[in-house]
Structure 1
Amino acid sequence: MATAYGIHVGNSSGCLAAFANGTPTVIANDAGDRVTPAIVALNGSEWEIGLPAKSGQPSSKAIIKHNKRLMNCDFTEDDLLYVEASSSCRIQNEENLVYEFETSETTLYSSPDKIATKMYAKLFTIASHSVGNDGDLKLVLAAPLHWSSTSRERLVKCAELAGFDVLQVISEPAAALLAYNIEDTTEDINVLVYRLGGSTCDASIVKVSGGFMTVEKNIFRSDLGGQCLTKDLAEYIAQEFRQKWKLDPHESRRAMAKLLHHADNCKHVLSTLNSAHVFIESLLDGVDWSQNVTRARFENIISSKIPAYIEPAQKAVESFEGKISKIVLCGGSMKIPKLQSAIANLLPEAEVLSGISPDEVIAVGCAREAGLLLDMPESSFTDINTEIEFLGKDIYMKYLDQTFKLFKQGTPPFSQNICTVETDQDVKDISFTLHENPNSEEFAVESFNVENLSKPFTLKATLQNSRISLQLEEQKC
């Protein structure tokens, strides 16, 4: 049987998971890390992907970060400026978007799609080594909820050029719920999915009913991310260095690049440990810097930012009328305990699911979906963007002198509504009319002869893909 894989590549990092023996497992890269930086660099004439691109001397490389922002066909001018400010290569945006990688040895031009393909090729190599055979590597990808089908197709082409056989593309909130098997719940529940990555944030409220997932609310922010916290920590370290040595790291781009790199590593260590040691060789003018940073100090540094990070989730919750019973946290920045507790305090009665590392959740969900798809060999997936058409409007039904709501907006296909119809004993025929609102004209009429049916009788309404079918039957004793 072919191996099933799930991949999530974000703006800052990528994660690869495999599905085997009924269990999804995250696969470590060649450096032993479970998450690979989503960074591509040209060092001289050699391409570097992941950790090699992130480490070393940034001044000698042409680096591109946050490439995923420009994979969205609907990227904005703010996205373009953000990627350009984060990277060390020029971006030409005339007829087509082109990166200009210039080093001391060569100048090369590339596109966001080619950079994404290099990232997927890196993950393909990791996956191939884990399999140990030449079989097809079946893959499910995750894309942001707000991306168009055209943007998703670009992701698919990049993954296929890298060697994967893409089965499906699912949304990031759906993948997060799949990671925890929430779709298998027998009761109707509402789940808050909060994702905080390196540079973007999503808060989604998802209704799970009968195996179907419906996104009721979604708030996306492109100006919130963990990099803001990294910069705050780097500013703190720079201030400590300046107070001791009377040297300002802000005067050197190389020094600030070093500071940001070490501050990012420090932030990740403090997500699991109570203290982290920062050692930066030759930070400025040949002066080394060594310092211990405690988690308490880090939390104090970022405390003023916490309300801004909670705001998207708070707005989504306040605009939603139902009860939210579970919280799923995803995105690398949600490993920070202070942020986890802040989201949990927003909904004290909800269960916070934290059994999977937040930066691995979406990839694990994709791998599980890939395993489910491979478990249905008779199915033919002609459209990788498989979507379910939910009911777009409320549907009302009228009969005799009664009116009631038959199906509400957002109802999934193949749902049923069974009700008891009370009539006089001498009624021979009855007509049911369907309306989009109680005062509108009917869009469908169905009549039945009920002369031989015992009164009262049962009406079974079934919502199918594009129509509603009605069926009458005698009530069961």
Structure 2
Amino acid sequence: MIIGIDLGTTNSAVGVWRDGKAELIPNSLGHLLTPSAVSLDETTGEVLVGLAARERQSTHPDLTATAFKRYMGASRPTKLGKRTFLPEELSALVLRRLADDAAAHLGQPVTEAVITVPAYFNDKQRKATRRAGELAGLKVERLLNEPTAAALAYGIHELDDESRFLVFDLGGGTFDVSVLEIFEGVIEVRASTGDNRLGGEDFNQVLIEAFGKAMGDRLSPAQRADPHLRERIRAAAERARRALTDGAAASMAVTWKDESFEHGFTADAFEEMCSGLLTRLRDPVLRALRDAGLRADGLQEIVMVGGATRMPVVRRSLTRMFGRFPSNAVDPDQAVALGAAVQAGLKARDTALKEVVLTDVCPYSLGVEISERGPGGMVRHGVFSPIIERNTVIPASRIQVYSTMEANQRQVKLPIYQGESRAVIDNIRLGELDVAVPAAPAGEIAIEVRFSYDINGLLEVDVHVPKTGERRELVIADEDVMSGPDFQKRREALAALKHHPRDADVNRAVLARAARCYEDSLGDQRHFIGQHLDRFTFILERQDPREIEHGRAELTQVLDQFEGATWL
């Protein structure tokens, strides 16, 4: 049995596809949402997961962990009593509880799962999530981006007409924006961006800081440092934020050592206090539209997902941004888990589901560290050179050519990074390759570097020195994936992509036809065909399949106008 899991920062949920529809599975308490909380009972040594753990957060803060999803992929241990846990280990405990609840409800063992992740999770965060699934005893069939899961929950995959949607996903700890296009049974992610350090918890923090400021000297530094009081204030902030969802005012009230502390907030004051966070929500939306090459009026629907989107300040901000109301057709707390269940049904090839193809994009740019020689011969080291740029549709394979920097250089080091910063020090290092080169004048030896990346995060780096035929290869993937039975199949699938688009038969045929028409024409006509030929050649070098398809159609149309349609 395969299930779909939304592993959330605040709450998690599990779903299944059966009897022709997606449904959420209640936990042992009958709730559809399970708090992503883990607590240790030092008396019995028992590990508590879910609501029982969350209820201990204010009374046993040193024994309880929440919001650990924010630290996935980081070496940030959490100490609970005498035991220490990594974020993926805490996540594994939540996943195991969800799987056990699902098995009890379904009456059969659960061994496989589709697990959702924020679209903007980087390579390390995705691998940590996969490890969490493996630690929980699950075979992770796929890591599905949360906005894509939300699209499936909204039934976007069942639409027949070509449509474009923006999914705005604001959860407890992470924020994602994805632009999706649907056409002919294909859901294609056009762009994804976001902020892995922005969510409902940050809006709580605004209230916490305002509360602390209002209390002034009534709270001493020692009291403010007490973890028990901090957790009570945090819980009061959460309650106040939720109250502001439906009301015009709310108050934070905390009782500590026989003393009461209370402060009230209006909805308007809260919105003003959150202005900085609302700006942080706006920037990724604009970036996603820019990367997708779309205007806001080119979107059919704005889909809101994640519990934090219930806040009126967020809904008003998004409404002002787009000049229309976003859709709320599906419960924002449940959409991602329901979409994961739909994907589980697709994986199981359920006959009730219409065949749909999901494509995704690379959330961060992938490239190598290079050195550049500037004016006056000054050399700048540590420069990031992207090879597969962010929001490239995957699986993808791209190639770049570099050359030696120094005369008689005998070796080239190629550190591999993921990120967007011009300086590699601000990006994430994934690995390194060394390749031997023959001694020659500076810049004379070319080094071809090819990156091939698939939907599950498998990155193959191939380096070729044409002068000597020297080849080096590095595979970057999770260790569990590399030892899995389908690893070789995935590598074979990537191998099929390792051809430059200009070498594809369909493109070679169009290029040959254009070259012939150029030779057959004169004057303005020759210049016109030459311009379009140069444009298509340039598009091929960018290696974007969608752009190549449009460019080829445009060049073919020009040639048809010149000499009529091609015949066979």
Give me the TM-score of the superposition, normalised by structure 1. 0.69
1:38 alignment partner in structure 2? 36
What's the CA shift for 1:150?
Answer: 6.8
1:65 alignment partner in structure 2? 66
Report which structure shows greater RCO (CA 8 Å, sep ≥6).
1
One-letter code of the match for 1:361? A
Secondary structure, in 3 states, of the residue corresponding to 2:546?
Answer: coil
- Alignment partner of 1:225 out of 199, 217, 229: 199
2:301 alignment partner in structure 1? 326
Q: Per-residue CA shift, 1:66-123, capped at 9, x if unaligned?
A: 3334432xx4xxxx6xx6xxxxxxx3xxxxxxx4432xxxx22333333222111111
What's the CA shift for 1:331?
Answer: 2.6
**Higher mean C-alpha displacement, 408-417 vs 309-318:** 408-417
CA distance in 2, matches of 1:135, 1:413: 47
CA RMSD of aligned residues (A): 4.0
Q: Does 1:366 align with 2:345?
A: no
CA distance in 2, matches of 1:412, 1:5: 36
What's the CA shift for 1:221?
Answer: 2.1
What's the CA shift for 1:147?
Answer: 4.3
- Alignment partner of 1:309 out of 277, 281, 286: 281
Contact 2:22–2:341 (CA under 8 A) maintained in structure 1: yes
Q: Per-residue CA shift, 1:341-374, capped at 9, x if unaligned?
A: 212322226x723112223222111111111222
Is the alpha carbon distance of 1:145 and 1:228 closer, same or farther for their aligned partners in structure 2, counting shifts above 3 Å?
closer
Secondary structure, in 3 states, of the residue corresponding to 1:199?
Answer: coil
Within 5 Å, give how 1:38-437 maps onto structure 2: 38-44=36-42, 45-56=45-56, 57-59=58-60, 61-72=62-73, 75=74, 91=77, 99-102=78-81, 107-131=82-106, 133-136=107-110, 138-147=112-121, 152-238=126-212, 246-247=218-219, 250=224, 252-272=226-246, 280=254, 283-289=255-261, 295-296=267-268, 298-303=270-275, 305-318=277-290, 320-322=292-294, 323-348=298-323, 352-375=326-349, 382=486, 397-398=510-511, 399=513, 400-401=516-517, 402=529, 403=532, 405=536, 409-411=544-546, 422=560
Is the alpha carbon distance of 1:101 and 1:127 closer, same or farther for their aligned partners in structure 2, counting shifts above 3 Å?
same
Give the structure with the higher percent helix: 2
CA distance in 1, matches of 2:127, 2:167: 24
Contact 1:42–1:101 (CA under 8 A) maintained in structure 2: yes
One-letter code of the match for 2:281? Y
1:437 alignment partner in structure 2? none
1:462 alignment partner in structure 2? none
Secondary structure, in 3 states, of the residue corresponding to 1:353?
Answer: coil
One-letter code of the match for 1:362? V
What's the CA shift for 1:126?
Answer: 2.1
What's the CA shift for 1:159?
Answer: 2.7
Is the alpha carbon distance of 1:170 and 1:294 closer, same or farther for their aligned partners in structure 2, counting shifts above 3 Å?
same
Is the alpha carbon distance of 1:256 and 1:392 closer, same or farther for their aligned partners in structure 2, counting shifts above 3 Å?
farther
Q: Per-residue CA shift, 1:280-299, capped at 9, x if unaligned?
A: 4xx22312456776545543
Aligned residues: 394
CA distance in 2, matches of 1:375, 1:217: 27
Q: Which stretches in structure 2 are left out of the alignment for 5+ residues?
A: 356-484, 518-528
CA distance in 1, matches of 2:249, 2:16: 33
CA distance in 1, matches of 2:292, 2:138: 39
CA distance in 2, matches of 1:153, 1:253: 32
Secondary structure, in 3 states, of the residue corresponding to 1:358?
Answer: coil
Q: Per-residue CA shift, 1:321-355, capped at 9, x if unaligned?
A: 32233222223322212202212322226x72311
CA distance in 1, matches of 2:272, 2:204: 13
One-letter code of the match for 1:306? L
CA distance in 2, matches of 1:129, 1:413: 51
Q: Which stretches in structure 1 are left out of the alignment for 5+ residues?
A: 84-90, 92-98, 425-454, 459-471
**Higher mean C-alpha displacement, 396-405 vs 42-51:** 396-405
Contact 2:70–2:173 (CA under 8 A) maintained in structure 1: no
Q: Does 1:23 align with 2:21?
A: yes
Q: Percent of pairs identical after alignment? A: 19
Is the alpha carbon distance of 1:304 and 1:154 closer, same or farther for their aligned partners in structure 2, counting shifts above 3 Å?
closer
Secondary structure, in 3 states, of the residue corresponding to 1:411?
Answer: helix
